[in-house]
Amino acid sequence: MNLPAVSSSDPCGDDAAMPLLLKRGERFLEPDVYRTCLDGQPAVVKDYTRYRGTPLSLLARVLVHHEAHILQRLSGWKHAPALLGTLGGLALGMEFIPGQTLTTAQAVSGEVFEQLQQALERLHAAGITHNDLHGTNVVVSGGVPVLLDFTAAWRTPRWLRRNPITRQLSRSDLKNLVKMRQRLTGQQPDETLVARVADPGWVAAVRQGWKRFYAWAKRVG
């Protein structure tokens, strides 16, 4: 991918003339992530172009299209970066969000987690689950939590939003929020939230069945 060069008059500044590698994709279908400048705006690019010409190219294009579609749905929402566009079908450009992730922040206020919970509930009300909520995917910018990396996010049609799987995905998002808040602030969830994130019987049964199958497979293997 040829990222645009930045001129000396570009508001991104001279140091943005060369893309800065933030993370090298090493796992399966994991993109390289750069910080650069697009149309005079600080940006982050998720780059899958190393898959061009390979059997995985189509899957990479699907991931780019999928995340772009989710970000378009969230356009104008302060808790998600703005989509800047797709580049050649195998890269995605989005707004750069300055700040610290929950993983690297020295201290995080309870107010940030209150905002994050409200943001998740708003997201779920729109039929979208994040499905990969952890500290590195939340940046606190100016006291506002911003969700990153919507690769695994899923949007459910309105008529399917009450089905058990969608409700479990929403429950999992909230459960991850509770874990992060406990770890970073020591705050315990109230009884109402505990009840909301508690797994229903069918989930516990599936997990127990999987554990039994795994133990059996290890014995016979």
Q: Give the class (CATH, top level) of 14-95.
A: alpha beta
pLDDT score, position 17 = 56
121-143 pLDDT per residue, tens: 999 999 999 999 999 999 999 99
Is the model's pLDDT at 118 over the cut of 80? Answer: yes
pTM: 0.85
- To which H or E segment does residue 168 belong? helix 164-185
Is the model's pLDDT at 195 over the cut of 80? Answer: yes
59-102 pLDDT per residue, tens: 999 999 999 999 999 999 999 999 999 999 999 999 999 999 99
- CATH 3.30.200.20 occupies which residues in the chain? 14-95
Is the model's pLDDT at 221 over the cut of 80? Answer: no
- CATH 1.10.510.10 occupies which residues in the chain? 100-203
pLDDT score, position 213 = 76
Q: What is the CATH number of domain 100-203?
A: 1.10.510.10
